[in-house]
Structure 1
Amino acid sequence: MSQPDIHLYTAATMNGYKPVIFLEEAEVPYDLTFINFAKQEQKAPGYLKLNPNGKIPTIVDRAEDRAIFESGAILWHLATKYGEFLPTDPVKQSEVMQWLFFQVGHIGPMMGQAMYFQRIAAPNGHDEPYSINRYVSESRRLLEVMNTRLEGRDWLAADEYTIADMATYPWARAYVWAKVEVDDLPHLKAWFDRIDARPAVQKALTIPKAQPQFWDAKADDGAFAAENAARFASDAKKG
């Protein structure tokens, strides 16, 4: 039996879900290797040959005999390879790429830091209110930018569902985990509802495993938060 072209290395994180969403939406066959952070598998020599930054996700495109790392680059590769979720019109394609880079350069880093300082640093003895306020406030500002953009629109770019939406959704939708308020952002919340209703997305959010604590405040009973903080305690100590 032949192997699928795409082999995905990923974990259950916001970046890790992004290529899974594309692959499930496009119904592209793939196989998957779960990267266990607790075992530092992302720093193993074999993996570093594929991704020198030692992060996830990474794909190997067997048909092209090469690895691609960085989630935005992976989504662009998959979209161009399979002709899905990226318009061919150059103006519309540029619009999609602008919002893709908005996620990669702003939404992800800022919300990631909001999560880090509240969910990892503080429980490990580095409670820094200034840093928390800085990143939560900037995350909120960026979600306000999205809310304005989505007024009168269903999707972020090109009047269609694209890799820009796929990239941004796991991060923005995790406002719960980042402790950012969105109750007064109706256009953003309507966008969440539209993507929440997509079966392929909901399936993707269970691969390699579900983390409902990221999306649902009621799911966070403290046990997962404590385990998460302990798992990344060594990162906090380095700080």
Structure 2
Amino acid sequence: MKNQIRGLIGPNGSGKSTTMNLISGSLKPSAGKIELEGQRIEGKEPHRIARLGLIRTFQLTRVFTSGTLLDAVALGVRAASGSPWSPARWIPAGDQAEVNHAALVALERMGLAHRANELAGSLPGGLRRILTIATALAAKPKIMLLDEPLAGLNATEKAEVANRIEKLRTDDVSILLVEHDMRSVMRLCDRITVLNFGQVIAEGTPAEIGRHPDVIKAYLGQKRVRDA
């Protein structure tokens, strides 16, 4: 899935969050293995997996509302560099000019550089979600796990966030996207994996998934399919 956007979808309780937790290190598998570029990562702590290039964002937008956008994205720069924390400020220590430059580059990639000095807490929901992705990008991920980035947004915000995610396809980063908004999933993803009750029931392009009988059954239910 290198340089692709891979979708992971399924009904509630199908195992999407468990899969994301296993990959990102929040859960330890009872069996099997998880590899990142040939290196076993199952059972490693999340911050160690992040240092290897696998970064996860969450549905809950977690930004420091009292700091600026630049401050928030600087946290991602710190995660990539491993530089120590400054006890005086909740930003990376070291060469602040270099940190700020790297943070601005990430903000520019997500279309937020012109708001770098605004307070993160002043952003509307859609832009906060974009800021979260910019912070993840600043950590220079090889793979980024996006956990329901469109959840709770209105139609305009969904379109804006989806547009920013789509542009990441041209960057050197692969994306695993968990999302319930099927229209956006079909638009954004190169390939889609479908789970139901912890099992993979289908995998393919958006066109293939859209007409797959097992996917239709899982989402609509057998009775509704028969009635239709």
Q: By the TM > 0.5 criterion, same fold?
A: no
The structure that has the greater radius of gyration is 2
Question: Which structure's residues are more often strand, by fraction?
Answer: 2
TM-score normalized by the length of structure 1: 0.31
Per chain length, whose mean CA-contact separation is higher, i.e. which structure has more relative contact order (CA < 8 Å, sep 6+)? 2
TM-score (norm: length of structure 2): 0.32
Between Structure 1 and Structure 2, the one with more helix by share is 1
